[in-house]
Amino acid sequence: EKMLTKEHREEYHVLGQIFDTYWILAFQDKMFIVDQHAAHERILYDRFAKNTDKIPSQQLLMHIFMDLTEKECEFINDNKEVFVKLGFNMEQAGPNSMRLLEVPSDVQIVEAENIIKEILESLENLHNVSPQELRHQTLQITACKAAIKAGDKLSLMQMNFIIEELNNTMLPYTCPHGRPSIIKFSSNELAKMFKRT
């Protein structure tokens, strides 16, 4: 079920942001609470996933050198093509070191090394990872790190833009980790909570 479409744009109102994390929306006879991080994460995951050819990347002017285990370096080299398609271009820089040359355009450079390390940690047994599993984990972690955070103050224009983008995704009600991005209350449910019915 889609929360709104462009035709419904006039009927739907963002009432504001609370705790710099959640948005309150009113639409027809429903109230929605949106988690801004989970919502943006879903948008980014779907955007990345659509790029089956190659995710747009940015070249680093200052290469990042990462200290890794020999096993991790070997895994990256064995899956170099998968990583490049996902926007991460790396090359061996020493026996236990990789040089990061490119990262996805949506990723903040300061987050790049953490993302690679988190991907490697999430794949418990590096010997037994399918390209599909590596792709899913990389997309999920990259989307999470690139998404706006809880605590980020946003304007109404930014919220409206993200909600419209969210509505174009396949699963607007959940983030890629399966956590809710939207919680919905009908006017009847609210009436019951306030013992009006």
Res 1: pLDDT? 59
pTM score over 0.75: yes
Q: What angle is formed at CA 50 by the lines to CA 40 and CA 175, rounded to 5 degrees?
A: 30
Q: Which helix (H) or strand (E) holds 65?
A: strand 57-67
DSSP assignment, residue 155? -
Give alpha helix (H) positions in the chain.
36-50, 70-78, 80-85, 112-122, 131-146, 156-166, 187-193
148's tokens: 């706006």
Going 16 to 19 to 20 to 25, the CA torsion angle's sign is: negative
Chain-centre distance of CA 161, in angstroms? 16
Count CA within 13 A, CB hemisphere, residue 23: 28
pLDDT in tens, the chain (197 residues): 566 565 666 677 889 999 999 999 998 889 999 999 999 999 999 999 998 889 999 999 999 999 999 999 999 999 999 999 999 999 999 999 999 999 999 999 999 999 999 999 998 777 788 989 999 999 999 999 999 999 999 999 899 889 989 988 989 999 999 999 999 999 999 999 999 98
Phi-psi region of 104 (alpha: psi -120 to 50; beta: other; left: phi over 0): beta
Whole-number Å distance between alpha carbons of 90 and 71: 15
What single string gives the DSSP state of each residue in 99-118? EEEEEETTS-GGGHHHHHHH
Cα 43 from Cα 144, distance rounded (Å): 10
pLDDT of residue 125: 75
Residue showing tokens 């050819």? 53
